[in-house]
Structure 1
């Protein structure tokens, strides 16, 4: 029970950015702030939060770079999905372009923030990570399927099977109070996707965005959306893992160079 408590505590600290976003959505839904549109206010709070997390060393500059990548990836997906009518942002705002408020990118960035912090706090280590070319191709296929399934066949179930086949030998090791545990990486994808689906229900309840069936009144998000979040989690994790891998290789190279200089 103590280990579970410490695990939950570290997870809660890793979720600081998403929690602030949810609190902002809830408070701005219940309390109307004059002279500023709600979506604009949410964006400014997200920006301030990001700055403060760096200032107080809650996040590193390297993690902010990763988060920035996800912000751009998320905005690109949002612009396309809103254009296709998958969901909408009904409220007006100055910082809203082609129907998409800029704060929406922070919702994707908050997932990256959680992953980066959980990786650092729980000392994540991957065993039997597949070759880089397979990871890159799978990530690209999953991401572009979000765009192409509107016109051609939806390959999501094929992509899920491919993910299992590629990662079935991959385990993630994490440490809680000097005790190390292991979990199949595919299982971690499912668990994170499920909890993001729960978060999505909270977000839509507070009007972060609306699906077509929620225009008149709020309804629970269809359980099938878990599969979409599962795929997005896979892409997110693979990007973070690859960047971590590149950073480790760079640090190892620097270490070898320093050793060579010392020998000389």
Structure 2
């Protein structure tokens, strides 16, 4: 005799769970796509300007104009707030400073001509860093992100500064990225990030979110270098896949970005802005 197992899910229940999971996954993907609007425009512009030469100005300058126009459209349409624009501008400056140093050290190069260049770095390059901040700000608002057991300010800020400075100092001193990565795990061991999809709340360890975002930026980096956004020394003759080890660099950069945005969000939380 067959005895049914108590609470055994039937076909109808399994179907409902499957459709619910698909609905949530699609909803999450849609919100992510909207949050990535600025980066998508940048990648689309890289592809179009690579395939279709534009008149009058060098390619790098057209990319700068496109980025500025997109920034203005997002602000005017309400897709981006004034406070988010301030964060993005800060990241543009931080990224441009890093680009100038790295190009000077020969880490990569921008071989094409351009009128709007500073020490060999086109101004549009700062928007690639700003697009990461744009994504974080947009996703934070759209997914109603909240922080659980966030570390104290005195632990977060020095860690972010140390990670950023290591991008410069490792050229002259020991590269301590792996020590910093270990410190990140220690500082954020109990920290989680919560987010909502269709009014249902989920959460994941913050360290895992850093790795996931860093990995997808590495994929985006391969797309960007393929379309000539910049070139690494091993890509001067022909394009090749960016070494998987670069994921660690992007993860650390994501951490700096996340810490800055999170700190500003904490400061602005009571005002209802950002």
TM-score range, shorter chain: over 0.9
Which of 1 and 2 has greater Rg?
Answer: 2
Question: Counterparts of 1:92-171 in structure 2 under 5 Å?
Answer: 92-171=113-192
Q: Which residue of structure 2 aligns with residue 53 of structure 1?
A: 74
Question: Equivalents in 2 of 1:226, 1:181: separation in Å?
Answer: 25
**For the residues of structure 2 that align with 1:168 and 1:83, how far apart are their CA atoms?**
37
Does 2:86 correspond to 1:86?
A: no
1:1-264 mapped onto 2 (5 Å cutoff): 1-249=22-270, 251=271
Instruction: Give me the whole-angstrom Cα distance separating, in 2, the residues matched to 1:104 and 1:232.
Output: 15
Number of the residue aligned with 2:17: none
Shift of 1:157: 0.1
* Deviating 4+ runs (over 6 angstroms): none
**In 2, Cα distance between equivalents of 1:54 and 1:139:** 28
Cα distance in 2 between the residues matched to 1:175 and 1:24: 31
Partners of 2:80 and 2:187 in 1: how far apart? 31
What is the CA distance between 1:34 and its match in structure 2? 1.6
Which piece of structure 1 moves more, 240-249 or 18-27?
240-249
Q: TM-score, normalised by structure 2?
A: 0.91
Q: CA RMSD in A?
A: 0.7
5+ residue gaps in structure 1?
253-264
TM-score normalized with structure 1 length? 0.94
